[in-house]
Structures are given as C-alpha cells and as structure tokens.
C-alpha cells in the first residue's frame, strides 16, 4: 500500500491538537495516523538534523527525539512520503490578495483540510498527485507573492505548534477531508518527470554555487547580523551572474532557514536586501574553490 493510500484511509483528524496533552503526544498521534514528522526549533530543523529527510512514523524514535527536545514544534514532511502537498498562503506578503486573483480567474478552491498559521496565514492540504511527476517546493506560485507550494522535499509546521510561546498553529473548522489538487491548480504547479529530476540532481552535484553561498551565509548568520549577511548573499549571487529572479528563491530560502532568534527575520527584509543588491553594478566574481 502506498503512503498516499495509507494516509487517505486513515485521514488524520484535526482534533489531535485538542486531545494531545503535549507536543510530543501530538507528534506521536500524527505518526500513528501515517504522517512522518520531525522536531523543529521554532520553524527550523534542529542543528545537525537533515530536516524533512529525518521525518519518520517510528514511535520509539519520535519519543526519543521529543524527550531530547520536549518543547519542539512539529514538522510534517510534505510530498510523496506523507501523501500531501500544501498551498502556503502568507498574508504578510499579499497571499490573500494573490489567491483572490487566482480564484477570480480559475474558480474557487475546493474545501479541504486547512490549518491557520502562527502569523495569520493558511496551509491548505491537498492529496499529492500520483501521476508519475515530481512536484517540488515552489516560491511565488504563478509569480504571485505570498503563495508558495510545499511539495517534495519540503515541510510545514503542524498544530498545536507555537512561535515565541504565544503564536499558535491551529486546525481550521469545520473538519474537511483532504481533497485532490483541483485541475487548474495542478496545471500551475511546476513539475519534473522522474528521469528529468535525476538528471537535474546530477547537474547540481557537479556545480551549485548558489547553494554553496546559501550554506555559507547560514553558517555565518546570527540574530545580530542577519540583514548584513543576507545583503552580502544577495550581492554574491548578483556577482556570480545569477538573474534577480533566480536569486530570489535562494534569498527566500535564506529568510526561511536563518535562525529566528528572539525576533523574526522576514521575507520582506530579505527581498529588500535583494532589490538593493541588484540595483548596484556587480563586482568581479569571487574565485571558487576546487571541489574534490
């Protein structure tokens, strides 16, 4: 039985957040219902974790993880492993207006399982398409701000997780089953055939300077220098000849993965650094180290 079939049979109930006495208990209940989960520090994987690649339904392993991190939030690995793909609507970046534009053109989204995020957004859960294609994470669906897709290799934060001990993720009422992705939305989703994806991954292993600069930036960033490091990252991407549109996905990944500290570092701040960097002429490209 596939992960999607198993999930559709069990259909994870939304009242988990009300029944669970702790985040650990909620994580275990999600796992018992077929959703692979992993612990998060705020919205980010713990240091040393591989993030969604470490998601599991193994009860003993999850108990050990939440014993080590009892206040950890709950991350759900999206994509084939859980059988879900999530439309992430972020009102801080105009997500509701962007969704309204799409629905006016294509029609309303179907009723489906939905959670409310800590910052007032929505996560709309759909069944991961079983059509032989890979549907990856996508920033700015249909080039519209505030609409992202959490697909293969991605993750979302599940209720009853909290941010800063006061902002809570909650399941929306009424409870709906997880719907298939509507045809019009499916047509908007970037995708790759499996063979094409394998070739793309091979090319990335050969040369991926953008990923290198991102890793370097994340290793240097602290709460006190996140803006400075983000601007330096944007400048480096510019200097490497990357288009502003290509650099946008990397700078947004930096915003999502950089340490939140006691105050959030927003995508708006990251995009402002990107615009500032690309308004200036590039410097000569930095010399890259030889890869062994």
- What tens digit of pLDDT does each residue of 216-233 get? 888 888 878 888 999 999
Tell how strand 122-127 and strand 179-180 pair up. Answer: parallel
Confidence of residue 205 (pLDDT cuts 50, 70, 90): very low
Helix axes 226-239, 209-220, angle to 10 degrees: 160
pLDDT for residue 9 = 46
pLDDT for residue 161 = 96
Confidence of residue 159 (pLDDT cuts 50, 70, 90): very high
Most confident of 12-21, 36-45, 223-232, 249-258: 36-45
pLDDT for residue 287 = 52
| DSSP 8-state symbol, 285 | P
Confidence of residue 289 (pLDDT cuts 50, 70, 90): very low
pLDDT for residue 118 = 95
Confidence of residue 19 (pLDDT cuts 50, 70, 90): low
Does this model's pTM top 0.85? My answer is: no
pLDDT for residue 292 = 41
The three-state secondary structure class of 10 is: helix
Print burial letters for 273-282: b (CB count within 10 Å at least 16), e (below 16): bbeebbeeee
Confidence of residue 172 (pLDDT cuts 50, 70, 90): very high
For the segment 115-132, the average pLDDT, to the nearest whole number, is 95
Q: How many CB atoms lie within 10 A of CB 201?
A: 11
CA distances from 260 to 104, 156, 186 (A): 36, 16, 33
Q: Is the pLDDT of residue 18 over 80?
A: no
Q: Among residues of the chain, what percentage have pLDDT more than 90?
A: 54
Most confident of 12-21, 49-58, 78-87, 237-246: 78-87
Q: How many CB atoms lie within 10 A of CB 2?
A: 11
Q: Among 36-45, 256-265, 274-283, which is the least confidently predicted range? A: 256-265
pLDDT for residue 43 = 93
Q: Is the pLDDT of residue 127 over 90?
A: yes
Instruction: Tell me how far apart the alpha carbons of residues 246 and 225 are, in angstroms, rounded to a whole number.
Output: 24
pLDDT for residue 165 = 86
pLDDT for residue 265 = 78
pLDDT for residue 291 = 44
pLDDT for residue 290 = 45
Q: What is the DSSP string of 126-187?
A: EEPP-SSEE-B-BSSGGG-TTEEEE-BT-EEEETT-EETTTEE-EEPSSP-PPEEPPHHHHH
| 51-94 pLDDT tens trace | 888 999 999 999 999 999 999 999 999 999 999 999 999 999 99
Q: How many CB atoms lie within 10 A of CB 58?
A: 11
């Amino acid at each position: 039985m596939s992960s999607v079939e198993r999930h559709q049979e069990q259909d994870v109930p939304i009242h988990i957040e009300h029944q669970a006495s702790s985040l650990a208990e909620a994580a275990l209940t999600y796992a018992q219902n077929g959703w692979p989960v992993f612990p998060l520090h705020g919205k980010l994987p713990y240091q040393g974790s591989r993030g969604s690649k470490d998601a599991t339904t193994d009860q003993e392993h999850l108990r050990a993880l939440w014993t080590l991190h009892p206040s950890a939030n709950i991350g759900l690995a999206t994509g084939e492993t859980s059988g879900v793909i999530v439309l992430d609507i972020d009102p801080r970046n105009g997500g509701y207006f962007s969704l309204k534009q799409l629905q006016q053109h294509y029609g309303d989204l179907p009723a489906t399982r939905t959670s409310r995020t800590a910052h007032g957004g929505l996560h709309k859960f759909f069944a991961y398409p079983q059509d032989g294609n890979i549907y990856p994470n996508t920033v700015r669906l249909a080039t519209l701000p505030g609409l992202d897709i959490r697909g293969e290799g991605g993750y979302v934060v599940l209720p009853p997780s909290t941010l800063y001990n006061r902002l809570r993720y909650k399941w929306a009422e009424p409870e709906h089953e997880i719907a298939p992705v509507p045809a019009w939305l499916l047509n908007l989703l970037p995708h790759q055939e499996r063979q094409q994806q394998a070739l793309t991954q091979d090319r990335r292993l050969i040369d991926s300077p953008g990923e290198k600069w991102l890793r370097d930036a994340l290793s240097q960033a602290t709460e006190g220098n996140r803006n400075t490091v983000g601007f330096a990252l944007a400048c480096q991407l510019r200097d490497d000849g990357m288009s502003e549109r290509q650099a946008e996905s990397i700078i947004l990944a930096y915003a999502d993965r950089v340490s939140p500290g006691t105050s959030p570092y927003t995508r708006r701040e990251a995009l402002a650094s990107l615009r500032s960097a690309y308004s200036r002429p590039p410097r000569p490209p930095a010399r890259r180290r030889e890869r062994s």
